[in-house]
Amino acid sequence: MLSWSRSGSAAGPVVVYFHGTGNAKQDIPFPAIAEGLGVRVLMADRPGYGTSAPMPDASLLDVGRVVLGDLDDQDVEEFSVLGWSGGGPHALACAAVAPTRVRSVGLLSSWAPMAPPHRDLPLRVRTAMRAGAALPRPAVRLMFVLEGQTCVGQVDDVRRVTRPWGFDVERVASAVRVLAFHAESDPYVPLAPWRDVKGIELTIVPGDAHDFPPDLWTLVLRRLTDIQIS
């Protein structure tokens, strides 16, 4: 079982938020917005973050199954998912595991499947992705520790995202509505790979932001919950 955070209205439509990949415990962004919209936002600390136990060899689909089991325990049946950055693939995996329960998928500055890493990625990120895909976990973890990054969840996130995902994004998009929002010149996660993915609804945001501002968070929550309750 994972540790969970909650914000917004306990009686509102549910959006399960998948946080980004980071070197520390993550938080639900802009909780006052969820409260104002009447949306119930739930966020699990992925394995290795916060007090959630690591799952070193878990795939994206494995993490999706754990999330769904926890939601069963919380009596949450239908919901939308929203993933930012490294959380995007985990949100998609949740929809791949349970397409009849996930009403819609939102992606903000999300990683797309890339093999090999896209040329628009910074060199340091490309190097980390190649290491995550090819090296054993102890070597990947040592690489992060030498850079002062000690969160085991971050190490395992990178390994999951850089290896085969175990599902096809276009197949997910054929079963569940997928809304992707991505800055045109995102300096950390390139937009280009998403242009080739069929079936998603891609909104290109002007500028070079990777973090998303409150107005975009508001827009996406509105879109996802409109779909959920329609």
188: which DSSP letter? S
Q: What is the per-residue pLDDT for 23?
A: 83
CA 47 to chain centre: 13
Residues of the chain with pLDDT under 70: 116, 227-230
Which CATH homologous superfamily contains domain 4-112+167-229?
A: Alpha/Beta hydrolase fold, catalytic domain (3.40.50.1820)
Q: How far is CA 188 from CA 27, 118, 119, 155, in A?
A: 20, 11, 11, 17
86: which DSSP letter? T
Instruction: Give the domain ranges of the chain.
Output: 4-112+167-229
49: which DSSP letter? S
CA 187 to chain centre: 18
Q: How many C-alpha atoms does 24 have within 13 Å on its Cβ side?
A: 2
Q: What is the per-residue pLDDT for 230?
A: 44
Q: What is the per-residue pLDDT for 229?
A: 52
- What's the CA gap between 120 and 16, in Å, rounded? 30
Q: What is the per-residue pLDDT for 129?
A: 81
Q: What is the per-residue pLDDT for 111?
A: 92
Bridge partner list, 82: 17, 106
Q: What is the per-residue pLDDT for 62?
A: 98
Q: What would the pLDDT profile of 93-113 be if each residue is shown by its tens digit?
A: 999 999 999 999 999 999 998
Q: What is the pTM of this model?
A: 0.94
Q: What would the pLDDT profile of 58-90 be if each residue is shown by its tens digit?
A: 999 999 999 999 999 999 999 999 999 999 999
